[in-house]
A = this chain, B = another copy of it.
Amino acid sequence: VTVLTRKTTSGLRALDSAPWIRATPFRKGVSELPARLLTDLQRQHLATLATRLHLPPRKIVYREGADATWVFFVAEGVVKAFRDLPSGKRRVTAFLVPGDIFGLAENGQYVNAVRTVTEATLFRIRTEELTDVLRRDPELGFQFLCKVTNDLRRAQRQTIVLGRRDARGRLAMFLGILEKHASGKSDPDIIPVLMSRSDIADYLALSLEAVSRATRELATEGILRFEDRHTVRVTDRRRFQRLIAAN
């Protein structure tokens, strides 16, 4: 598979292709929605260190346990972080979307494998170069701290989801999360579901069949309608929210 890479150039034009991150800050702000954190200056700085890559769907970015050479920024598309268990089961620990980062190592190695779900545009920076910058630019380091704190909240939210026993409820919570991510898109009742059923199953720790049945149930109950396999319309928002909260 061909991987396109290109060194980004510094300067004003570079912002079109400079890394960025999105998170909810610590402090109380005007909006609860996550915001872009980096200043143009910071982005330009990172851009001088970053390489851009454009990847096709279902391409492995790196494997679990590999040497953590790079830290990645998602610019476009969706990727998944996952682990394969001894039993052959696969656990998706996170879906990463534009504004997310991944590849922060532990002990010099990646802890999850990462694979593109859709076509994706990423930036990558050498781990050492990034940590050098972070150790020198306190404001930038602080932005990253906000981001990782946010990711921690996300992981905790997933434990809440997995704590539910009913497949319908887990699926509804998952779709609710997707909806927040995609908020600001054209039709507010449309949720784009970019990943496959079995990716969802791996994320929700359900069998593929259970996900399939849950989708059908929610549809026959009139809560959702599937325009196609990757597009859901919320047809009864009240019951949708009630199902999400009912745990």
Using a CB–CB cutoff of 8 Å, the interface residues on chain A facing chain B are 24-29, 32, 68, 83, 85-87, 89, 91, 93-94, 104-109, 111-112, 127, 131, 134-139, 141-142, 144-145, 148-153, 155-156, 158-160, 162-165, 205, 245-247
Q: Chain B residue with minimal CB distance to A111? A: B153
Contact partners of A105 in chain B: CB under 8 A: 26-27
Contact partners of A87 in chain B: CB under 8 A: 246-247
**Subset of 17 A-B contacts with CB under 8 Å:** A26-B127, A29-B108, A86-B247, A89-B247, A93-B160, A94-B156, A135-B139, A136-B138, A141-B142, A145-B148, A151-B152, A152-B155, A155-B155, A155-B156, A155-B159, A162-B163, A164-B205
Q: Chain B residue with minimal CB distance to A31? A: B107
Interchain nearest-CB distance for A165 vs B (Å):
8
A165 vs B89: C-alpha distance when bound (angstroms): 12
* B93 contacts A156, C-beta separation under 8 Å: yes
Contact partners of A109 in chain B: CB under 8 A: 28
Say whether, besides A86-B247, A93-B156, A24 and B106 are in contact (CB < 8 Å).
yes
Partner of A141, one of B141, B149, B150, B245: B141
Contact partners of A145 in chain B: CB under 8 A: 134, 141, 144-145, 148
Contact partners of A106 in chain B: CB under 8 A: 24, 26, 149-150, 153
Q: Chain B residue with minimal CB distance to A162? A: B162
Contact partners of A159 in chain B: CB under 8 A: 91, 93, 155, 158-159, 162, 205
Which 10 residue pairs spanning A and B have beta carbons closest together?
A28-B108, A155-B155, A163-B205, A141-B141, A162-B162, A138-B138, A93-B156, A148-B148, A152-B152, A26-B105
Contact partners of A162 in chain B: CB under 8 A: 159, 162-163, 205
Q: Chain B residue with minimal CB distance to A242? A: B86
* A152 contacts B142, C-beta separation under 8 Å: no
Q: Chain B residue with minimal CB distance to A112? A: B156
Contact partners of A152 in chain B: CB under 8 A: 104, 148, 151-152, 155
* A83 contacts B160, C-beta separation under 8 Å: yes
A29 vs B68: C-alpha distance when bound (angstroms): 13
A72 vs B131: C-alpha distance when bound (angstroms): 25
Contact partners of A155 in chain B: CB under 8 A: 152, 155-156, 158-159
